[in-house]
Structure 1
Amino acid sequence: MSYLKVLHCSLCRKNGIYGISSKSILFKIGNGTPVQQLATISTSHCWKSKLPLISQTQTSSSGKNKNVPQDTRVWKETPTHDIRNNLGHYCMMLSKFRLTSLVVMTSMAGYALAPAPFNFTTFALCAVGTGLVSSAANSINQYHEVPFDAQMTRTKNRVLVKGLLEPVHAISFAAITSASGLSILYFGVNPLTAALGAGNLVLYTSVYTPMKRMSILNTWLGSVVGAIPPLMGWAGCTGGLDAGALVLGVVLYSWQFPHFNALSWNLRPDYSRAGYRMMAVTDPALCRRVALRHTGIITATCLTSSYLDVTNLWFALESLPLNLYFMYLAWQFYKKSDSGSSRKLFKFSLIHLPALMLLMLVNKKYWSSSETREHKDVLKSQDVNKLPESKRITVLPRGPVVAAQETDLR
């Protein structure tokens, strides 16, 4: 048995315990360490109310740590998901809803810009059919690229990569949407629009998707895929393709390059890790040059659209500031080639296309095919009036033919 003499206990001062007598206090020490004895002794009301129970807290916490097992596995169970309750959300992810919405928007713009009478039923069927075909193409694309999407930060959360859906679900979704979409386009719109949709589906899933890992030409082929939806809208309205459809196709084709090249610039580590042959990875200088070049092509196409009877002259003037600023951002991307300039170019491309389509719609030159025919007839009559009298051909109206008979005047 021994005693420990303590004066002004430092433990008490640290915990805000005051009012203890300045006289020395003798602690009787039996079995155990001095710290344990100090924690269990109370000499006044102040000690009882303010001194924390150190030994009890340490004992309880250590007991809890000993009882809770630590998970040291390198794998964990995959949680089960209720597909029925989340089916709509999963289908939107399979269809790449934002990309499909952009495709449908360009198709609707092509229909609205065509010089033919507007039919709301055909317009709606064309939009729905185009959206369904685009959803099928995106679903098949994700089915083929599961092992590569898993290596990219941007795509590692897709439904097939995370195991939220099985591959059979993606194939079934693609089969249903493609069959229904092409049927709507064929029977509800016209065969030409359905043929364009089917061709674009095959081009995207069977040519463009595997080419992404084979050749840098995949970007040019992908731009063709992006240029077909406005042609589908134009064909759905007029039943054919003409110079106006060519203008829309060139604008959408060229717009893909600054948009995608700027997007892929900051994703070079992901594309390189997954083995994709993109311009930003294989030839960064070409990536910047092509983006700048095609902004110039867009500007030139918009300036010449009035001569092809697609828009009026006001469109050339109104779209010029928009296109020039697009060219300026592409020039900054070409010169600086950093993440900031590429991000600015990509974000403005998302604004540029809807604004350009809206300007084209507002400044549409002909609102019906009858106006186009009347305009052509006026031009023909003006050309005929310019000819000299000697070269003009007078066409008599068709009437009954009267045959003269000889009479005998004897």
Structure 2
Amino acid sequence: MEPESSSAAGSVRASETGSLECSPYALSRCGACRYSRHEALSLAPRGSAPGWVCHRRTGPARRRMERSVGRPELHARWWPRQVLPVLPVLVWRGTNAARWECETGTGASVQPRFTNALLPVSGLLPMTLEPATYLALSKPRITAMVVLVAALSFLFGLSVAPTDSSPSADWVWPLSWLCAGTALLSAGASAVNMWMERDLDSRMERTRVRPLPAGRVAPATVMVFGLAAAAAGTVLLVRTVGALTALLGAATFLVYVAVYTPLKTRTEWATHVGTVPGALPVLMGYSAARGAVEAPGLVLFGILLIWQLPHFFAINWLYRDEYRRAGFRMLASADPSGRRLAIESVVFAAALLLVSLAPPLRAQTGITYELAALVLGGAFLAVVVRFARARSLATARHAVLASVVYLPAIFAALIVDRLLAGRLPLW
């Protein structure tokens, strides 16, 4: 007979058989709590439906809290009244002094990995003090690439000036504020994306080590961090760079988290939609330098937009089985043979070569950039064609590597060309 634990939403069963494993991957509502704001870790008996498990503090700090404000799990709605009287006690005990107990209907208990919570009274307040966790939430490699692209676009924008005038030499502080604001917006978007996909990430081998699936931080902490970083980045850009750049940054954040992320589990066209927020940092950098969005900046936007498609198609092919198991709708899932993915990869790689030599951009560049664009675009196209023909893991890795080399190289060629032409007063 399976024991049963009742809740306001109904009953949840926990199997008596099988080994119990406290998994921080899947989040559910606790069967012992009255209010839906109290988030609980899901206890997943192997081979059976998940049961419920509740966070409960044990030891002196819990007894002090209960004497002050009553049982915290029954008053999660009124967290300010609970936390403020006992905040000094919780801070004094430290991040690793709290012990948690996971209880099931069978009376069994296990020790979860989530032991670094400062304020675990409700689902709104768990915090962590590990800087490495927040760095991981910001997806540092992606954020670094976004900041680099925005900075190089800014420098290119400085060089786009009438031939009878010289570019302004006062560029250091605007560039610094642009990089800081862009980094905050990118970090915020990445954190909110992790919060939205925490259950899906736990099903994939390459993403289950992220802070949320690994149980190193609570979901509410991630959401607060993401929104705060995005808001700070937007305000910083408004105050120091300009309203247009801040508007483009806010649009990047909103399209990424409100449009692209939900579409990833609904349609294989999500990858195409996601190229828009992925390419907007180019316009952020260009508009920060020029104060407007012009034809050369739009060409750079097109380069980054098109580049993402063969890049992500190759990644999709590498991890197609994991994406399918996790529930993501990717192009490789809609067409397991990979024929459509291969055709689109070649088409967009060829389009990338053509767009990189578009007239509005060539009018602002010289022979150095044109030769680099021709060589880099041709080499990238050749690698993508090889991947499209073989569709193997090795050729997919080569395509990813070639794309990662192409993007910074084409922007670097653009800046070097402008330096050789004397259009960038960097010193």
* Structure 1 pair 85–143 and aligned structure 2 pair: CA distance change class (3 A): closer
Match of 2:271 among 194, 200, 219: 219
Residues 128/86 of structure 1: CA separation in 2 closer, same or farther (3 Å cut)? same
1:88 and 1:349 map into 2 onto residues whose CA distance is 31
The match for 2:372 is: 318
Is structure 2 residue 340 aligned with structure 1 residue 289?
A: no
CA distance in 2, matches of 1:307, 1:264: 31
What residue in structure 2 maps to residue 156 of structure 1?
A: 208
Q: Secondary structure at the match of 1:161?
A: coil
Q: Where does residue 117 of structure 1 map in the other structure? A: 168
How far apart, in 1, do the equivalents of 2:264 and 2:344 lie?
18
Report the 3-state secondary structure (helix = DSSP H, G, I; strand = E; otherwise coil) of the residue aligned with 1:276.
coil
Letter in 1 for 2:423: W
Distance in 1 between the 2:156 and 2:416 partners?
Answer: 9
- Provide Cα deviations, 1:70-120, integer angstroms capped at 9, x if missing partner: xx9443522354468852101011111111111111111110111252511
Q: Are 2:263 and 1:229 equivalent residues in the alignment?
A: no
Between the aligned partners of 2:410 and 2:188, the Cα distance in structure 1 is 28
Q: Which residue does the alignment assign to 1:243? A: 295
Q: Which residue of 2 aligns with 1:379?
A: none
Cα RMSD over matched residues? 1.9
Q: Which residue of 1 aligns with 2:12?
A: none
Q: Which shows bigger deviation, 304-313 or 317-326? A: 304-313
Q: Match for residue 99 of structure 1?
A: 142
Q: How does 1:70-149 map to 2 (within 5 A)?
A: 73-75=19-21, 77-82=111-116, 87-114=130-157, 115=160, 116-118=167-169, 119-149=171-201
When normalised by structure 2's length, the TM-score is: 0.67
Output the TM-score relative to the length of structure 1. Answer: 0.69
Change (3 A) 1:248 1:307: closer
How many residue pairs end up in the alignment? 298
Instruction: Note the residue ranges of structure 1 that are not aligned, 5 or more in a row.
Output: 1-71, 370-410
Amino acid corresponding to residue 312 of structure 2 in structure 1: F
How far apart, in 1, do the equivalents of 2:361 and 2:399 lie?
A: 29
What displacement does 1:301 show?
1.8
User: Displacement, 1:223?
Assistant: 0.8
Looking at structure 2, the residues matched to 193 and 211 of structure 1 have their Cα atoms a distance apart, in angstroms, of 26
Corresponding residue number in structure 2 for 1:186: 238
- Paired with 1:140 and 1:79, the residues of 2 have a C-alpha distance of 22
**Larger radius of gyration between Structure 1 and Structure 2:** 1
Q: CA deviation at 1:195?
A: 0.3
Structure 2 distance, partners of 1:217, 1:173, is 29
Equivalent position amino acid for 1:169 in 2 = T
Secondary structure of 1:160's counterpart equals coil
Q: Could you list the runs of 5+ residues in structure 2 that have no partner in the other structure?
A: 1-17, 22-109, 118-126, 161-166
Read off the aligned partner of 1:327 and give its amino acid letter.
L
Deviations 1:311-361 (A, max 9, x none): 113311222122111001110011111111111000111111111110011
Paired amino acid for 1:259: H
Q: Which sits farther off after the overlay, 75-84 or 226-235?
A: 75-84
Cα distance between partner residues in 2 of 1:92 and 1:300: 37
